[in-house]
């Protein structure tokens, strides 16, 4: 007991001495920093306030500059349909004939459906750029400007392949505010952007965010290279501009990815360069002229790159060369890797399709390929797409198909999906019940792995004998069988 009473004061004294010495020689540990001097903190805050004021002024100025050129588009469509006959039988009809029927038979009805979208004036002559789906099948279009003026809109030209359309404002179009079109190739992931439009009927709404990704595909159009943004986009924003902080239009807002139908942080816009390439044709009401190469290809995987002794996965692999096409005349072969088109590096097969389509028919362009372990350069004279069967070959079904891409596999949740994706359907054709985005998996019990398989299978069928198709429904995610044609 005596020892414990003595040790306690000694330990206490040693602890006190240690604390004192520790405080004297203490240095800040990693991850710690001394509290800033009040004056330095105040100066830094003042500097940041000045930056915040300038940043706020920049956003406000861009919105004020571009908003007047953004328009509200209201569409009206008359829809006719048949009301079915009453399922009940009128007993008077048995005795007195159908002229005494009290229950109504089939009746024709019609209703007017209205839609709202956005657009942006890009030409002082009264031309408005918007989405194709905003104006498709509309009987009447009314366009309202931010300054209160209202115009009748007339469709000048449409391009469903890119989901774009141009309207011409009727009447006096003096002093129209015109937006400046930028360069979407200079847009980078992480860059600030502003979306302007009329979401949910709320006119002249402005939202801000960043570019989340580039080169997205949703299967909503034949040619896609979509910009993904987290700037709030909702129904009604379609056709409105996506703007950079230079006040330039870099995209046309077109779709959202959502489980609710509203904003969930994923919006999509069409790059403005894709629109600029076809604006002259749309203004003139001419069919869009696109280039044609004549191959079937796919993205380059790491496994395939290793087999070809090629570094990286950028490029497009040639799976088939169609006869009597520019690709065949230039000597392209199966397993060639196309790495550059007209001086631009090829990211993947979808990017190559975009580059080829945007090239004017008749133009000669250099093409870089990787073959047998070395790089070669060929010259291609681009053909006019309309003069050839598209890669999505037309057939008696009245449908066109294209290759199943990785984006389509991701969207449908099937990593190993093979087949031919439907890109276009003739609404008056025998396969009108099939929708773009559905995937043909077999024809007459013959497995379809790609476009070539589909074309060969359809070549062996005739309308009078019909075709049994196994089709993956994009809406349900499940396959079903359809028998089309036949006597």
Kindly report, residue by residue over 354-370, the tens digit of the pLDDT: 899 989 899 999 999 99
Residues forming a β-bridge with 77: 113
Kindly report, residue by residue over 69-91, the tens digit of the pLDDT: 999 999 998 876 665 555 555 55
Ranges of CATH 2.30.42.10 domains, the chain: 291-387, 399-484
pLDDT tier at 14, thresholds 50, 70, 90: very low
Ranges of CATH 2.40.10.10 domains, the chain: 180-284
Q: What is the CATH number of domain 180-284?
A: 2.40.10.10
Domain spanning 291-387: CATH superfamily: PDZ domain (2.30.42.10)
Instruction: State how far the Cα of 265 lies from the Cα of 257, in Å rounded to an integer.
Output: 8
Residues forming a β-bridge with 440: 420, 471
From residue 223, alpha-carbon distances to 160, 179, 207, 238, 285 in Å are 9, 24, 27, 17, 20
Please tell me whether residue 328 adopts helix, strand or coil conformation.
helix
Looking from the CA of 178 toward its CB, the CA atoms found within 13 Å total 13
Kindly report, residue by residue over 42-60, the tens digit of the pLDDT: 778 888 888 899 999 999 9
Instruction: State how far the Cα of 444 lies from the Cα of 439, in Å rounded to an integer.
Output: 15
pLDDT tier at 456, thresholds 50, 70, 90: confident
Q: What is the DSSP string of 158-186?
A: EETTTTEEEEEE-S--TT---PEE--GGG
Neighbours of 341 (CB within 10 A): 24
Contact 382, 362 (CB under 8 A): yes
Alpha helices by DSSP H, listed for 70-181, are 91-96, 132-135
pLDDT value at residue 389: 44
Q: Which of 65-74, 347-356, 441-450 holds the top average pLDDT?
A: 65-74
Which residues lie below 8 Å from residue 345, measured CB to CB, with a gap of 6+? Answer: 314, 339
Neighbours of 380 (CB within 10 A): 23
Instruction: State how far the Cα of 384 lies from the Cα of 396, in Å rounded to an integer.
Output: 23
With CA atoms as reference, report the closest residue to 375 among 354, 351, 353, 346.
Answer: 346
Give me 337's structure tokens.
Answer: 């890797």
Give me 279's structure tokens.
Answer: 């604006």
Chain centre to alpha carbon of residue 154: 25
The mean-pLDDT minimum among 58-67, 128-137, 338-347, 452-461 falls in 452-461
Helix (H) or strand (E) holding 44: helix 38-66
Residue with tokens 């969930």: 264
Contact 271, 250 (CB under 8 A): yes
Instruction: State how far the Cα of 434 lies from the Cα of 442, in Å rounded to an integer.
Output: 14
Give me 180's structure tokens.
Answer: 């400046």
Neighbours of 67 (CB within 10 A): 20
- Using the predicted structure, report yes or no on whether residue 18 has a pLDDT greater than 50: no
pTM above 0.75, yes or no: no
Kindly report, residue by residue over 191-224, the tens digit of the pLDDT: 999 999 999 888 899 999 999 999 898 878 888 8
Please tell me whether residue 377 adopts helix, strand or coil conformation.
strand
Instruction: State how far the Cα of 408 lies from the Cα of 413, in Å rounded to an integer.
Output: 8
From residue 414, alpha-carbon distances to 102, 379, 479 in Å are 54, 38, 12
In CATH, 399-484 is 3.40.109.10: no
Q: What is the DSSP string of 279-325?
A: HHHHHHTPPPP-EE--EEEEEPPHHHHHHTT--SS-SEEEEEE-TTS
Helix (H) or strand (E) holding 355: helix 349-357
Give me 370's structure tokens.
Answer: 């990787």
From residue 295, alpha-carbon distances to 104, 195, 344 in Å are 57, 37, 19
Kindly report, residue by residue over 246-299, the tens digit of the pLDDT: 999 999 999 998 888 888 999 999 999 999 999 999 999 998 888 999 888 889
Residues forming a β-bridge with 345: 340
Kindly report, residue by residue over 24-39, the tens digit of the pLDDT: 444 444 445 555 566 6
């Amino acid at each position: 007991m005596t020892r414990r009473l003595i040790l306690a004061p000694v330990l206490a004294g040693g602890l006190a001495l240690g604390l004192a010495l520790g405080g004297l020689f203490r240095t800040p540990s990693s991850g710690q920093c001394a509290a800033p001097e009040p004056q330095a903190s105040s100066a830094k805050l003042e500097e940041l306030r000045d930056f915040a004021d300038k940043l706020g002024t920049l956003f406000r100025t861009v919105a004020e500059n571009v908003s007047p050129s953004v328009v509200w588009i209201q569409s009206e469509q008359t829809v006719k349909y048949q009301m079915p006959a009453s399922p009940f039988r009128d007993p008077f009809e048995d005795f007195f004939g159908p002229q005494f029927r009290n229950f109504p038979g089939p009746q024709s009805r019609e209703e007017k459906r209205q839609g709202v979208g956005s657009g942006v004036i890009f030409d002082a002559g009264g031309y408005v750029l918007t989405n194709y789906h905003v104006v498709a099948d509309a009987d009447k279009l009314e366009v309202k400007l931010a300054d209160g003026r209202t115009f009748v809109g007339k469709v000048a030209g449409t391009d469903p392949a890119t989901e774009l359309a141009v309207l011409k404002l009727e009447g006096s179009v003096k002093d129209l505010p015109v937006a400046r079109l930028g360069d979407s190739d200079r847009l980078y992931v992480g860059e600030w952007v502003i979306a302007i439009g009329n979401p949910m009927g709320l006119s002249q709404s402005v939202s801000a965010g960043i570019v989340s990704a580039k080169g997205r595909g949703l299967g909503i159009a034949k040619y896609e290279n979509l910009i993904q943004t987290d700037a709030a986009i909702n129904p009604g924003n379609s056709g409105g501009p996506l703007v950079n902080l230079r006040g330039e239009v870099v995209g046309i807002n077109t779709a959202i990815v959502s489980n609710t139908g509203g904003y969930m942080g994923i919006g999509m816009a069409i790059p403005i360069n894709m629109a600029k390439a076809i604006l002259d044709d749309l203004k003139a009401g001419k069919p869009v002229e696109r280039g044609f190469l004549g191959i079937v290809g796919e993205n380059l995987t790491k496994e395939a790159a290793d087999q070809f002794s090629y570094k990286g996965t950028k490029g497009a692999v040639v799976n088939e060369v169609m006869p009597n096409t520019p690709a065949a005349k230039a000597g392209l072969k199966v397993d060639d890797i196309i790495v550059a088109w007209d001086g631009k590096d090829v990211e993947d097969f979808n990017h190559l399709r975009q580059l080829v389509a945007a090239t004017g028919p008749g133009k000669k362009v250099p093409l870089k390929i990787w073959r047998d372990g070395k790089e070669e350069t060929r010259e291609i004279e681009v053909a006019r797409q309309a003069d050839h069967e598209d890669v999505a070959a037309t057939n008696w079904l009245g449908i066109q198909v294209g290759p199943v891409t990785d984006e389509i596999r991701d969207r449908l949740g099937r990593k190993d999906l093979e087949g031919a994706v439907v890109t276009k359907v003739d609404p008056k054709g025998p396969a009108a019940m099939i929708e773009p985005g559905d995937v043909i998996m077999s024809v007459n019990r013959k497995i379809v792995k790609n476009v070539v398989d589909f074309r060969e299978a359809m070549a062996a069928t005739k309308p009078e004998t019909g075709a049994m198709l196994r089709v993956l429904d994009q809406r349900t995610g499940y396959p079903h069988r359809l028998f089309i044609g036949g006597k």
